[in-house]
A and B are shown apart, each in its own frame.
Chain A
Amino acid sequence: MSTRTDTSSNAVVAGSFEGDRRRYLRGLGGLLVFLLVWWVGAMTTQPSYLVPGPLDSGRAFIDLFATSTAIVVPVLGSSLVLPTGFAHLAQTLFHYLPGLLLGASCGISLGLAMGWHGVLDDWLRPLVRVLRPIPPLAWVVFAIVWFGIHHTGAAFIVFVGAFWINFYGAYGGVEGVSSELTDAASTLGVERDLSMLKLVALPSAAPQVLTGFRTSIGRCWMIVVGAELFGAPGVGYEIINASNNLAMATSVAYMVLISLAFLCMDVGFRLLERRILTWR
């Protein structure tokens, strides 16, 4: 705590700033200790490919952006030359993004509809109970026979993953709409069901819908890498590909790349979320 006594508000600001700084330093310390342990572990393990060291991995990471790779843009069919890291990241995004966005839209729509409409809920609830526990990756067999394990197949698996997380976010959100708010709205002239959904249920469910979507961003990264281990092109495939050549440092480089890509999306979406939900 700060011991300054000139003005209390200054003291509070200084105190919280001090606390932040201490937290960042501790975090940095934790990272450094981890790097040290990793480095020592790598030095003392033989053969060296079992644990590639931080320096080798760093070098492999830089190499991802020092070389270029040509990829084919799906749908357009044109070819694109990018630094290797970005090229494979782009390949992943070509199925990650459509799968995530389509899965989220469908999941949110069905969640809202079922949460809002009792009869629809009665009809579909048992079906949801049965389909929900199936892990998205189990659908890989159908992805292969229906679409082939390429962008479309991988997008399908991501779709399944995004669908359920967003479904439950929206379903829970709409179910939790307070009856007091819908009562207030109906005394203020909201008559049609659809207006109630738009004016009360949707804004009221927005925090849970957005949390569902943010969760699905992370979950779909796990799923997309899983799908690529079966052969769809992208960063997940490159992890396997590099390890088949015993270039384990390159595998680590791709793992770090996935982590960074996820962090960027997560932070970006959190900022967006905060802007949308200023009222909370």
Chain B
Amino acid sequence: MALSSGSSTDHDSREKITIQNVSRSYESVQALADVSFSVAEGEFCCVVGPSGCGKTTLLRAIAGLDDPDGGSILVGGDPVTGPGLDRGMVFQEYALFPWRTVRGNIRFGLDRPACDCPDCEARVRELIDLVGLEGFEDAYPKALSGGMKQRVGIARALAVDPEILLMDEPFGSVDTRTRDRLHAELLDIWTQTGQTVVFVTHDIDEAVTLADRVIVVDADPGTVQSTFSIDLARPRERTARDFVGHVARIRTELGRPDDTSH
């Protein structure tokens, strides 16, 4: 049967992200309280928790977009001091530049600082191919569906070849069928690129479908409640007994019989 453990204190030698006693509060709300965990290199890690548990804050802190009040975040052993090209971010509401075409959006990161890849055009073509957007190169975001927009968002983040991919409920606004396909595609990409992924979601099914490890965060104040290793072979069948077992355990841990609220 599957493994699960209380809190993770085991130190991996290939530790990519180390979060130590991180706290963050906004006015009177304690978004994160003494959060510690680590993510191994090449690991697919999902952070699950109810809305308002500070999981987005945590992701933004790793990205360098938010400055925690206390504790430290190390990426590859170095403290995070701001955003960097080693950490790509995929946003819940896509955050595409509406005035740029699909090609222009994907190319954005390659142009700063002035293109130092030998053939940027080829790189962009390769990415468009990777996320399956052939034929939409010159479309503007307004003409794309939610699923397609997020494909652009993923390709744009991958363009600069970050070591870490940070994903903030990236499939929260797409329909179920598209989401299933995007899950499969994301896992394909991850297998090909071997990046370290931190994926935030409130959907337990999604977390168990994707992750090597699920970190359950509790709300008010945001703390790491427990972590679960999901050692099921991929692709995972959602009706399989083991799968259902993991989902049930995490749901029990979250203390909510039915967590489908946003």
Task: Known A187-B65, A279-B140; judge A181-B109 contact (CB<8 A).
Answer: no
Q: Is there contact, CB below 8 Å, between A184 and B100? A: no
Quick one: which of A166-212 are within 8 Å of B by CB?
Answer: 178, 180-181, 183-190, 195, 199-200, 203-204, 206
Given contacts A184-B89, A279-B100, are A189 and B113 in contact (CB under 8 A)?
Answer: yes
Residue B16, interface by CB 8 Å: no
B146-176 Cβ-contact flags toward A at 8 Å (1 or 0): 0000000000110010000000000000000
Cβ A187 vs Cβ B89 within 8 A:
yes
Interface size on A, residues (CB 8 A): 20
A206-B109 in contact (CB<8A): no
Q: Find chain B residues with CB under 8 A from A185 CB.
A: 97, 108
In angstroms, Cα B195 to Cα A120, docked, is 42
Give which listed residue, B99, B108, B140, B141, contacts A204 with CB less than 8 A. Answer: B99
Pair A279/B98 contact, Cβ less than 8 Å:
yes
- Chain B, range 52-104, C-beta contacts under 8 Å to A: 60, 63-65, 82-83, 85, 87-89, 91, 93, 95-101
Contact B83 A187 (CB under 8 A): yes
Q: Chain B, interface size: which category? A: 20 to 34
B residues in contact with A280, CB < 8 Å: 98, 142
In the complex, A67 has a CB within 8 A of chain B: no
CB proximity of A29 to chain B, nearest CB, Å: 37
Tell me, yes or no, whether A278 is within 8 Å of chain B by CB. yes
**Does the CB pair B142–A279 fall under 8 Å?**
yes
Q: Which residues of A contact B113 (CB under 8 A)?
A: 189
Cα–Cα distance between A181 and B63 once the two chains are bound (Å): 14
A206 to B97, CA, bound (A): 13
Measured between alpha carbons, how far is A280 from B97 in the docked complex, in Å? Answer: 11
How many Å lie between the Cα of A190 and that of B157 in the bound state? 13
Q: Tell yes or no: B177 within 8 A of A by CB.
A: no
B108 touches A188 (CB 8 A): yes
C-alpha gap A188/B87 in the complex (Å): 9
**Do B97 and A200 touch (CB < 8 A)?**
yes
B181 at the interface (CB under 8 A from A): no
For residue B256, CB closer than 8 A to chain A, the reply is no
A residues less than 8 Å from B95 (CB atoms): 178, 180-181, 183-184
Smallest Cβ-Cβ distance to A185: which chain B residue: B108
Are A184 and B91 interface neighbours, CB within 8 A? yes
Asked whether B93 lies within 8 Å of A278 as measured between CB atoms, the reply is: no
Cβ–Cβ < 8 Å partners of A279 in chain B: 98-101, 140-142
Q: Which residue of A lies closest to B140 (CB)?
A: A279
Which of A183, A189, A190, A206 sits near B99, CB closer than 8 Å?
Answer: A206
Tell me the chain A residues, 45-79 only, with Cβ under 8 Å from chain B. Answer: none
Determine the distance from Cα of A279 to Cα of B142 in the docked complex, in whole angstroms: 7
A183-B65, A184-B89 as given contacts; A189 in contact with B142, CB under 8 Å: no
Identify the A interface with B (CB < 8 A): 178, 180-181, 183-190, 195, 199-200, 203-204, 206, 278-280
A189-B85, A189-B160, A280-B142 given. 13 additional CB < 8 A pairs? A180-B95, A183-B63, A183-B95, A184-B96, A185-B108, A186-B83, A187-B63, A187-B65, A187-B87, A189-B112, A204-B98, A279-B142, A280-B98
Could you list some 14 contacts between A and B, CB below 8 A?
A180-B95, A181-B97, A183-B91, A183-B95, A184-B89, A184-B95, A184-B96, A184-B97, A184-B156, A187-B88, A188-B88, A189-B112, A203-B99, A279-B142
